Amino acid sequence: MSLTVALNHAFAGFTLSARFDAPPGITALFGRSGSGKSTILKSVAGLLRPDHGQIRLNDHLLFDSARAHCLPPHRRRLGVIFQEDRLFPHLSVGQNLRYGAWITGQGMERQARAQIIEMLGLGPLLRRRPGGLSGGERQRVAIGRALLGQPEMILADEPLSALDEARKAEILPYFERLRDELHIPILYVSHAPAEIARLATTVVALQDGQVLRQGPAREVLADPSVTPAGVRAAGAVLQAVLTGHDPQDGLSLLDAQGLRLFVPRVRAAPGTPIRLRIPAQDVMLSLSAPEGISAHNIVPARVQQIRPGEGPGALVTLETQAGVLLARVTRRAVRKLDLREGMQVYGIVKAISLAPEDVGAPKASRSGL
């Protein structure tokens, strides 16, 4: 099950030219606004007809300019989650959820339906009307509506960007569950690195209509030459396991391939796999193991690469036992410490600087604490 996209489309300002595969799991189209990611999503959904190319989902040909073939959106069997929830205001929540089944005459099995409604916590809302719901509730209904149409693929177009921080935190875990429990490809458009780091299995980084790089999320996000959202948003992702909590200090302890890391309290049980994004901005470098320092996380590392930026900063790639880390320091610091590739250094990460949205516990909502 996968989506294959190859397309070219000319706009007034620039040309979009993209080619990528989206396997099951979440494939994130990552880039700034105007990089062409929404155009790709619309092309896959059938809401925009690109100039040239081919789009294939499993063995369905959705679009092929060579054969002048373009399946209309209603025949593509895709579940689209838009930036705005786009709920039908004249229908109740229950009617919105049943809309796809009602239109296509293909109802879902009662049990599968009940499961989705339960997973998204929509039971108490069924009789309500969309106008009376909160932003988070509305987006949950929109997710449910897309799923209940029994799509062969989910398309999500910046589904969290219209929500405030608290609502984002409410919805993110649902996408993690879709990724882990639904075995269909999910194409997820976003410009927020924290979201991508938490959700994506595959990342397609876009800049000015071109694919900068694509591949497994960890590799693409750790590549210092790929910063589609700007160097300020750069940050590597580590895979870790939750080993315990320190209730007194409100911290949790993670183990990333033997590396112990303290992070702000994670609401999950020990043993839970955790994805941790460490923003490059929040990593300091030291030549010797620092002592008498407030930061908890001191990571022995080897400098792999130093990339001076256009401004005063430089992006340093560090090789650690837990994987690749990125550190953003000044060029002045590189000079003063005389940093060179291959040097032994210590990366210092303040536990408190790791924001909750950087720490993802896939099944947090289920296991509780």
Partner 1 sequence: MNSPADWLSPAEWDAVRLSLKVAFWATLLSLPLGIATAYALARGRFWGREWLNGLVHLPLILPPVVTGYLLLLGFGPKGPFGAPLETLGLGVAFRWTGAALAAAIMGFPLMVRAIRLSIEAVDRNLEEASATLGAPPIWVFLTVTLPLSLPGVLTGAILGFAKAMGEFGATITFVSNIPGQTQTLPSAIYAFLQIPGGESSALRLVGISIAVAMGALLASELLARRLSARLNGLDA
Choose the stretch contacting partner 1; rule: CB under 8 A; options: 143-151, 163-171, 207-215, 229-237.
143-151
Which residue from 14, 61, 65, 84 is in contact with partner 1, where contact means CB under 8 A? Answer: 84
Least distance in angstroms from the C-beta of 124 to partner 1: 13
- How far is C-alpha 93 from the geometric centre of its chain's CA atoms? 27
Contacts of partner 1 in 269-328 (CB under 8 A):
none
CA 173, 179, 185: angle at the middle one, nearest 5?
A: 145
Which residue from 129, 260, 296, 363 is in contact with partner 1, where contact means CB under 8 A? Answer: 129
- Residue 280: partners with Cβ closer than 8 Å, 6 or more residues away: 231, 234, 235, 236, 315, 326, 327, 328
Which residue from 11, 23, 49, 103 is in contact with partner 1, where contact means CB under 8 A? Answer: 103
Query: Binding of partner 1 at residue 140 (CB under 8 A)?
Result: no
Which residue from 19, 86, 267, 307 is in contact with partner 1, where contact means CB under 8 A? Answer: 86
Least distance in angstroms from the C-beta of 109 to partner 1: 17
Structure token digits, residue 355:
């924001």
Least distance in angstroms from the C-beta of 258 to partner 1: 46
Q: Binding string to partner 1 for residues 145 to 164, with x set by CB under 8 A, is what?
A: xx--x---------------
Least distance in angstroms from the C-beta of 142 to partner 1: 8
Choose the stretch contacting partner 1; rule: CB under 8 A; options: 129-137, 191-199, 241-249, 331-339.
129-137
Nearer to partner 1, 145 or 275 (CB): 145
Cα dihedral 145, 146, 148, 150 in deg (nearest 10): 160
Report the alpha-carbon distance of residue 161 to residue 83 in Å, rounded.
Answer: 7
266 near 359, Cβ under 8 Å?
yes
Structure token digits, residue 15:
């040309």
Choose the stretch contacting partner 1; rule: CB under 8 A; options: 66-74, 176-184, 246-254, 327-335.
66-74
Choose the stretch contacting partner 1; rule: CB under 8 A; options: 144-152, 179-187, 312-320, 327-335.
144-152
Which residue from 13, 67, 89, 338 is in contact with partner 1, where contact means CB under 8 A? Answer: 89
Scored b (16 or more CB within 10 A) or e, 165-204 reads eebbebbbbbbbbbbeebebbbbbbbbbbbbbbbbbbbbb
Rg of the chain over CA atoms, in angstroms? Answer: 22
| Strand, helix or coil for residue 85 | coil
Report the alpha-carbon distance of residue 322 to residue 258 in Å, rounded.
Answer: 7
Structure token digits, residue 26:
């979440």
- Total binding residues for partner 1 by CB under 8 A? 31
* Percentage helix, strand, coil for the chain under 3-state DSSP, each rounded to 5: 30, 35, 35
Which residue from 31, 100, 228, 323 is in contact with partner 1, where contact means CB under 8 A? Answer: 100
Contacts of partner 1 in 35-64 (CB under 8 A):
45-47
Query: Binding of partner 1 at residue 128 (CB under 8 A)?
Result: yes
Q: What residues make contact with partner 1 under the rule CB under 8 A?
A: 45-47, 72-80, 82, 84, 86-90, 99-100, 103-104, 128-132, 145-146, 149
